[in-house]
Amino acid sequence: MSVRKLKPITPGQRFRVVNGFDTITTDKPEKSLLASKKRSGGRNNSGKMTMRYLGGGHKKKYRIIDFKRDKNGVPATVKTIEYDPNRTAFIALLNYADGEKRYVIAQNGLQVGQVIVSGDSVAPEIGNAMPLGKMPLGTTISCIELRPGQGAVMARSAGSFAQLMAKDGKYATVKLPSGETRLILLTCTATIGVVSNSDHQLLVSGKAGRTRWLGRRPRTRPVVMNPVDHPMGGGEGKSSGGHPRSKNGIPAKGFKTRSKTKASNKYIIERRKK
């Protein structure tokens, strides 16, 4: 993993820091695993803008990712490590021994030619997927299921990882990337290792236009709006805007919005740090 700082030959490149892409092995995706991706631009069926600050952006094709890792006991060879425009992490193309091809989220250290496998009785090595109940304590994991067979929903972005802290009864105690400590069923599957592209947080876009390429339009600060547009708008000159809150009036920055009666509260041992 590496990043490159560009020479300031244009104003947009003066502060730009780009990914070195030294782990990427090809720029041509597997055609059988591509799907079209429609963009709404934040408009509804009558063309009216219903979501602010969305629109434009480069055309993308969706890469169909195997989040379930349910092909148990069949070894797969890593054919390529690829860039995916739909996520911050890199993806790996797997060639299974029976001829099937699948994309998975790539872990740090995953190499082309490496053989990985999923199942109950596999070794706890980078890229292998297995139930939490079969992993040794202290293992660094990512791409974690919340319900058995659901597919990975947690720790999927670039550089994310969780840690298996303990096992008790039918639950494992896992420390998540947010700092939250949570109980997860031992039968849930996770992948060994840290998600790839951990240098993603070091990137600097360099200019506003790159954000437009990602499909995000300029965002207006609420404090400069009029009272009709936002609760924090109005006032003479540079007014503070009052208490931080959303357009709908819901307080922000410290206000707890999680329901006190939510069913999954009993599985959370320690809340995330503020």
Give residue for tokens 């936002």.
230
Angular region, 21: left φ>0, alpha ψ -120 to 50, beta rest:
left
One-letter amino acid of 97: A
pLDDT tops 70 at residue 1: no
CATH match for 3-200 among 2.40.160.60, 2.40.50.140, 3.40.190.10, 3.30.465.10? 2.40.50.140
Digit-coded pLDDT (tens) for 127-166: 999 999 999 999 999 999 999 999 999 999 999 999 999 9
Domain map (residue ranges) of the chain: 3-200, 221-274
pLDDT of 241 reads 81
What are the pLDDT digits (tens) for 200-232?
999 999 999 999 999 999 999 999 999 999 999
Q: What is the mean pLDDT of the chain?
A: 95
What is 221-274's CATH number? Answer: 4.10.950.10
Place of tokens 């890469």: 63
3-state DSSP call for residue 207? coil
Q: Report the 10 Å Cβ neighbour count for 264.
A: 11
Phi, psi of 3 (to 5 degrees): -125, 160
